[in-house]
Amino acid sequence: SKTKNRILKMLVDHQNEYLSGQKICDCLGCSRTAVWKHIKDLQKEGFKIDSVQKKGYRMTAPSHHLSEANILSSLKTKKLGHNLKFHETLPSTQKEAHHLAEDGAADGTLVVADEQSTGRGRLGREWHSPMGTGIWMSLIIRPDIALHQTPQLTLLTSVAVVKAIHDITGVECGIKWPNDILYNGKKIVGILTELQAEASHVKAIIIGIGMNVNADAADFPDELKKRAASIKSLTGREHDRPAIIQAILKHFELLYNTYLEEGFEIIKLLWESYALSLGKEIYARTVKGDTIKGLAKGIDDEGVLLLETRDGTVHHIYSADIEII
Ligand code: BTX
């Protein structure tokens, strides 16, 4: 509830200080019993909150539990994520975000779930999204850009995610064009960018981000064990999912504002600095089913991959799975 979220925010803002029940009531205009009930709920969610007679309530340790209150309590953005739709479980945050966008959801709306029963990747592939282990979220944005520019937003998202992972966990991942974030060849994050358009006008872009955070290596199904990893499997410890979400949104907002004001150039440079495939021999399997072997020369100003084959032809690859040889 809104009141619970606001109580949490007050406690986070005054961490390690006592806040009297009365002061909380006065600020929020609710009863002391209501405050007490919300505090009980927060304690159940894993927040360590002391209560001492005559002094009030004090938060001693933040909880890393994924909840609406926890994500909202320390958002560092102006706009992104403030309209938050949190669910314990959903078939797919991407599907939910599509419905919300069709119904006119505001720019910056974020859908987060603690579990997805039918998470999906590109081309209808499955995305493994078990309860309590990862970040499964979809962001709705409504930029005024042309259709052909939308792949740029996948690249922008990759940069924001790599920066956020580094900030919060210290792990330095790389990006494999167009949408994978890898560490030692294993997929940590997948990004799915989809759009709603009318003629050549973008109505909404829905950016799905799936990140393996606290899964144990043994939690992955056999067919993924060789290809996927979680951040915990790299660092040996659990990581704070709300903090990672907040960091992704913060970096995304900064990069996105730069992008809208100054164009793709800066984003492109940043993206190239994290790219794993540039300058390497790769196979690109296109959606049509062709496989092209060549040298990944770079990306163009639209985010399209430039692949040079043996005969010197440069192919423009809009969408493909690539394999670094
Ligand atoms: P993709 O098509 O590039 O990758 C999908 C492939 O990745 C699968 O076929 C499988 O081999 C592998 N895979 C499946 N699950 C995992 C996992 N947890 N970790 C690593 N590899 C995996 C990538 O598509 C885009 C994925 C976006 C997922 C987000 S989660 C929030 C949002 N909601 C939703 O339904 N999808 C997006």
Residues 44 and 178 in one domain: no
Q: Is the CB of 136 under 6 A from ligand 1?
A: yes
How confident is the model over 97-121, as pLDDT tens digits?
999 999 999 999 999 999 999 999 9
Give me the CATH number covering residue 158. 3.30.930.10
pLDDT tens digit at each of 325 positions of the chain: 788 888 988 888 887 889 999 999 999 999 999 999 999 998 887 788 999 999 999 988 766 779 898 899 889 999 999 999 999 999 999 999 999 999 999 999 999 999 999 999 998 999 999 999 999 999 999 999 999 899 999 999 999 999 999 999 999 999 999 899 999 999 999 999 999 998 888 999 999 999 999 999 888 999 999 999 999 999 999 999 999 999 999 999 999 999 999 999 999 999 999 999 899 999 999 888 899 999 999 999 889 999 999 999 999 998 899 998 8
Q: What is the CATH number of the domain that holds 291?
A: 2.30.30.100
Confidence (pLDDT) at 201: 87
Per-residue pLDDT, 277: 87
CA of 121 to the centre of ligand 1 (A): 4
Predicted local confidence at residue 60, as pLDDT: 84
Position in ligand 1 atom list of the atom nearest CA 113: 31
CATH code, 49: 1.10.10.10
Q: What is the pLDDT of residue 309?
A: 96
Let me know whether 111 and 260 are in one domain: yes
Question: What's the CA gap between 282 and 325, in Å, rounded?
Answer: 5
Asked whether 179 lines ligand 1 (CB < 6 A), one says: yes
CA 168–ligand 1 middle distance (angstroms):
22
Q: Which atom of ligand 1 is nearest to the CA of 94?
A: 33
Residue 263 and residue 142 share a domain: yes
CA of 30 to the centre of ligand 1 (A): 43
267/128 same-domain check: yes
Task: Give me the long-range contacts of 268-273 (CB less than 8 A, separation at least 24).
Answer: 268/155, 268/299, 268/301, 268/303, 270/159, 271/155, 271/156, 271/158, 271/159, 271/175, 271/299, 272/298, 272/299
Instruction: State the closest ligand 1 atom to the C-alpha of 210, by its place in the atom list counted from 1.
Output: 30
Q: Whose CA is nearest to atom 18 of ligand 1?
A: 128
Residues 144 and 236 placed together within one structural domain of the fold:
yes
The domain of 285 spans: 281-324
Total domain count for the chain? 3
Please indicate, yes or no, whether residues 317 and 184 belong to a single structural domain of this protein. Answer: no
Amino acid in position 34:
A
Instruction: Report the 10 Å Cβ neighbour count for 32.
Output: 12
pLDDT of residue 130: 94
Between strands 110-113 and 314-317, the pairing is unpaired
What are the φ and ψ backbone dihedral angles of 127, each rounded to 5 degrees? -125, 115
Nearest to 137 by CA among 117, 110, 161, 162: 110
**CB 192 less than 6 A from any atom of ligand 1:** yes
Please report the ipTM that was assigned to this predicted complex: 0.99
> Is residue 88 located within the same domain as residue 46?
no
Determine how many CB atoms are found less than 10 A away from the CB of residue 301.
11
